[in-house]
Amino acid sequence: QNPLPVLHYKTDPALKKASLEAGFSGDISLYRWYRNGEFVISTEQPLFPLEHQTIKNQETWHVEVTSNALGGVILRSKDIVISPAQ
């Protein structure tokens, strides 16, 4: 098992939608999403739709998760780079 959250970029070309998904097993209470090092939003869901986030330039995303199973420890994913062409 990977001790850190893994961030996945998912697209659905037919629907012209994209999202980020934090892959991490365990009891998670909060997901904090960051674009280019700046906080975007906190959610309670591992899936973050990018429908309101226009990707104009190459962007770097990461997520921080708060793990209840580890006593409230905050774990950070590795960065994922998204380009407009993706």
pLDDT along the chain (86 residues), means of 10: 74 76 81 94 90 74 87 89 74
- pLDDT value of residue 1: 46
- pLDDT value of residue 62: 95
Q: What is the pTM of this model?
A: 0.81
- pLDDT value of residue 2: 52
CB-CB contact of 42 with 57 (8 Å): no
- Rounded Cα distance between 11 and 9, Å, is 7
